[in-house]
Chain A
Amino acid sequence: MIARNRLTEIGVTRLIQLAGFSSIIFMGMILYFLLTEGVPALGEVSLRELFSSRWYPIEGFYGILPLITGSLMVTIGAMLIAVPFGLCAAVYISEVAPPRLAAVLKPLVEILAGLPSVVLGFLGIVILSPFLRRFLDLPTGLTAFTGSLLLGGIAIPTVISISEDALNNVPRSYREAARALGATGWQTIWGVTVPAARSGILTAVMLGVGRAMGETMAVMMVTGNAPVLPSSLGALFEPARTMTATIASEMGEVATGSEHYHVLFFIGIVLFLFSLVVNLIASRLVFRSKGRAERVLS
């Protein structure tokens, strides 16, 4: 009997190890593929050319700078919208709304978080972009700003739902302790509850950034797809193009193994590095205030 228990114990351990290792191996393989397909671009196109400002592959111009700035512009814009709104909404649902209303709002937000982005892209083209064109009096409604707004909208439910969970997990006793010291409801929320939930909120923001940066379809549909290096803030209201949109729209047309093909993979590497940096910053921020022991324990 005891021997059998031991066997199951070992079996389960092995199974879990296998699961863990296989995900690492898959990651490794993806990375390997990305590198073998993308790095040759460096041999075919000089670095100076790669980081120049003209993207026109048909004539052999492979400057990816406008694509990077396009992605940055759209992503940062989206986060400037999604983070404050998402956080406020999460605070409202978790701390302010009467329990019955919260019970309705929460699942609603989660459904929104699951909407396919093509649907949102469609709404963006049909409603948002004509509205912006008329309202801001622009030559076209397909701009970086339209992409930011839409992506912000896409990221908001993610930000809300995860930060709301984090706020909810703050023990009730924290709130009572603050209230017992004469803090008002708002002082308690901003001074105690939100800081106590900050690592969860940061996770929410990072997942939101991830969602915004990786988003392809919706952005491709509403940003106007023009690879132009922005020269001023006004560029926000002109067409732009992101890295993801470029890969998605051009990958189908290139010959495997061509220069263009390798450069597209190189863009993939850049995208990968961006998300790596975002994640590193996030874990720095989360761990900064924690001691080593806590980090090991948690």
Chain B
Amino acid sequence: MSLFEIYDLTVEYSDGTESLQGVTMNIEANEVTCLIGPAGGGKSTFLRVLNRLNDLADVKKVSGKVMFKDMNLLDPKIDVIDLRRRIGMVFARPLPLPLSLYENVAYGLRTAGERSKAKLDRAVEQALRQAQLWDEVYDRLDAPASRLSGGQQQRLCLARTLSLEPEVVLLDEPTSALDPISTAKIESSILELKERYTFIVAPHSIQQAGRIADHVAFFLQGELVEYQPASEIFTRPRDKRTEDYLQGRFG
């Protein structure tokens, strides 16, 4: 059984745009699944369905079925707080909270009610190591997070998400604002950690998808055009539109 089983997912915003139309796909555990496609294709919308962040946007209609293990994520009665701890998310712009480094990483655990200083310390260190940031910041954990460089801030955001030990990590163009070194560090974190976590990424370039993806889904104007193992889609795309996109003919 796949980790996510998605049938006929359709999302419509209140201004009438259908951002996703009848998307059906399975996502496997402990893999990196990349969502590619031109702007407005629905990648962000798709990710935000998975952790129910779309609840905060003015979405008019969501239909279909999104099974995560044996839970239907579209069920309005599920505990979204708990869900978001199990399915974490990193955004395009590095967004440290207006707190210290340490408190940023500990934030999720604290809101979840963790009090033990020892446990928090351990979780913070482990998360920072996983995000390959520990060596750069271990001696100034009390400094405000806004002092870090953009690339460090983004790794901090990754650490913050990992600190909750989620099952799935969603990343929406996590490196679009970063320098090559931080980008490489985030990519290598993803590859190293995929044994423990499942990653679903909207990469900021096709090349990035090529470097990290196990599976690739191509979204075009809300439609899932093609979904294949990475090796397949890059060498033998089945759909003409995928081929055009991969060769840079649009988007």
Contacts and interface: CB of A to CB of B under 8 A. Distances in A.
Contacts of A175: 56
A180 B107 CA distance: 11
Contact of B91 (A177, A191, A294): A177
- Which of A173, A178, A182, A294 has its CB near the most chain B CB atoms (within 10 A)? A182
Interface string B71-113: 0000000000110110011010101011100000001100110
Contact of A192 (B51, B97, B157): B97
A181 interface: yes
A184 interface: yes
B53 interface: yes
A60 interface: no
A291 B51 CA distance: 35
A174 B88 CA distance: 15
A169 interface: no
A196 interface: yes
Contacts, number: 64
A16 B82 CA distance: 55
B237 interface: no
Interface string A169-199: 0000111111111111001000110011000
Interface residues of A, number: 20
- Chain B residues touching A, range: 20 to 34
- Which of A174, A179, A184 has its CB near the most chain B CB atoms (within 10 A)? A179
B104 to A, nearest CB: 10
- A interface, by DSSP: helix, strand, loop or mixed? helix
Given A181-B160, A182-B164, A192 B98 contact: yes
Contact of B85 (A174, A182, A187, A291): A182
Contacts of B240: none
A195 B107 contact: no
B95 to A, nearest CB: 5
Given A177-B157, A191-B111, A182 B95 contact: no
B242 interface: no
Interface in A135-183: 173-183
A289 interface: yes
Contacts of B161: 180-181
Contact of A182 (B56, B82, B97, B146): B82
- Which of B98, B160, B161 has its CB near the most chain A CB atoms (within 10 A)? B98
B111 A181 contact: yes
B147 interface: yes
Contacts of A176: 53, 56, 91
B88 A181 contact: yes
A196 B97 CA distance: 8
A289 B112 CA distance: 26
A182 B111 contact: yes
Contacts of A196: 97-98
Given A173-B93, A174-B95, A179 B144 contact: no
A98 to B, nearest CB: 12
Contacts of A182: 81-82, 84-85, 108, 111-112, 164
Given A192-B98, A289-B144, A291-B147, A181 B108 contact: yes
A251 to B, nearest CB: 47
A178 B85 CA distance: 11
Given A180-B51, A181-B107, A187-B111, 5 more contacts: A182-B82, A182-B108, A183-B107, A191-B107, A294-B146
Which 10 pairs, one residue from A and one from B, show the smallest C-beta to C-beta distance? A181-B108, A182-B85, A180-B89, A182-B84, A183-B111, A177-B95, A196-B98, A187-B111, A182-B81, A195-B98
Interface of B: 51, 53, 56, 81-82, 84-85, 88-89, 91, 93, 95, 97-99, 107-108, 111-112, 144, 146-147, 157, 160-161, 164
